Amino acid sequence: MPRKITYRKALNEGLDEELANDDNVVIIGEEVAEYNGAYKVTEGLWDKWGDKRVVDAPISEAGFIGMGIGASMLGVRPVMELMFFSFAYVAFDQMMNNAATCRYMSGGLINVPIVVRGPANGGTNVGATHSHTPENIFANMPGLKVVSPSTAYDAKGLIKSAIRDNDPVYFMESTVLYGQEWEVPENDEIEGGELLIPLGSADIKKEGTDISLIAHGRAVITALEAAEILSAEHGINAEVVDLRSIRPLDEQTILESVKKTNRAVYIEENKPFCGVGAQIASMIQEKVFDYLDAPVLRISSMDSPAIYSPPLEKAQIPDAALIVKKALSIC
């Protein structure tokens, strides 16, 4: 039987392997060391690697993110954990104005090989200030790379590639996914001996012929649920495309899927205004318009701050029923 591990464990394995692979890799963040991480992603790593490789930081994102960016310019490969990606705004100048532009402004002489990772999602009833999904904001900035894995397999393969990348990679996870399990092979079962997924490579999570459901992050799981309903109840064979990497973006995989199915819906838990789906819809319209048999649709979170009330926040975030309804409207 193939082994199944949680999304959390997959990240933990990826971090552990990269700490072993390169002495310049360090993990820094609030409670990542002795407490094993706010979400236990770094569990056991401090015990194994010690104070110099797994470092607890004070509650000052501007301080420790800035320190990590500076260290990365000098050859360290820091992996910075944010307890919520909402707290990135405290370090916005560091993350957007400095990390993103240093390589360009130095004429390529100074790289910034930093990874900033943590949960970027709503749906856990922690209020508007802790539930932001800022992947579209960071993806808007040239010089940054933005990753959003939807499975444990992708989480492990992408975190390892992100750490090895010479540019800033902002790695956006989901607290809702941390405890879910997927098949992830042991390293000795993989050609090359380790799981690496290149940044900028989308993945077809389900083959289909009638409509392309395109998504990133946890919305991919919701899209797969919708695809099952569409098949079982309506005879519609939906293809599910997982971006995995928002920037760099695998345009070819997306466009080839739409050319095959002639219909597209983009699903995200991001807000609609200037969201990732707007970029994808524009790209599809510009590059494969003649293949479309219906308008490109977008499904996103309700355009309001995250609602604290559990039943209302649940209604705020796209579910499978909404995807099915929208898909049927263009099939």
Q: Read off the pLDDT of each residue in 262-267 and give the average, rounded to a whole number.
A: 98
Which of 13, 17, 61, 173 is labelled catalytic? 61
1 pLDDT above the threshold of 70: no
Q: Read off the pLDDT of each residue in 130-135 and give the average, rounded to a whole number.
A: 93
Structure tokens that stand for 218 in this block: 């946890």
- pTM for this model (two decimals): 0.95
Instruction: Specify the CATH number for 4-189; select among 3.90.1570.10, 3.90.1150.10, 3.40.50.970, 3.30.360.10.
Output: 3.40.50.970
Query: pLDDT tier at 108 (50, 70, 90 boundaries)?
Result: very high
User: Tell me, what's the pLDDT at 98?
Assistant: 95
**Annotated catalytic residue 61:** yes
Q: Which amino acid is at 16?
A: D
Domain map (residue ranges) of the chain: 4-189, 203-330
Residue 306 near residue 313, CB atoms below 8 Å: yes
DSSP-derived 3-state class of residue 173 = strand
Q: What is the percent of the chain with per-residue pLDDT over 70, rounded to a whole number? A: 100
Fold: same for 4-189 and 203-330: yes
For the chain, the average pLDDT equals: 96
Q: What digits encode the pLDDT tens for the residues 217-246?
A: 999 999 999 999 999 999 999 999 999 999
Instruction: Specify the CATH number for 203-330; select among 3.10.20.340, 3.10.450.50, 3.40.50.920, 2.40.420.20.
Output: 3.40.50.920
Q: What digits encode the pLDDT tens for the residues 273-292?
A: 999 999 999 999 999 999 99
Which of 17, 30, 81, 130 is labelled catalytic? 130
Structure tokens that stand for 72 in this block: 């990365």
User: Tell me, what's the pLDDT at 2?
Assistant: 75
143 closest CA partner among 178, 103, 197: 103
Strands (E), 66-192: 77-81, 115-119, 145-147, 169-173, 181-183
d(CA 85, CA 130): 8
Alpha helix segments (H runs only) across the chain: 7-21, 45-49, 61-73, 92, 102-105, 135-139, 152-164, 219-234, 251-261, 276-288, 310-316, 320-330
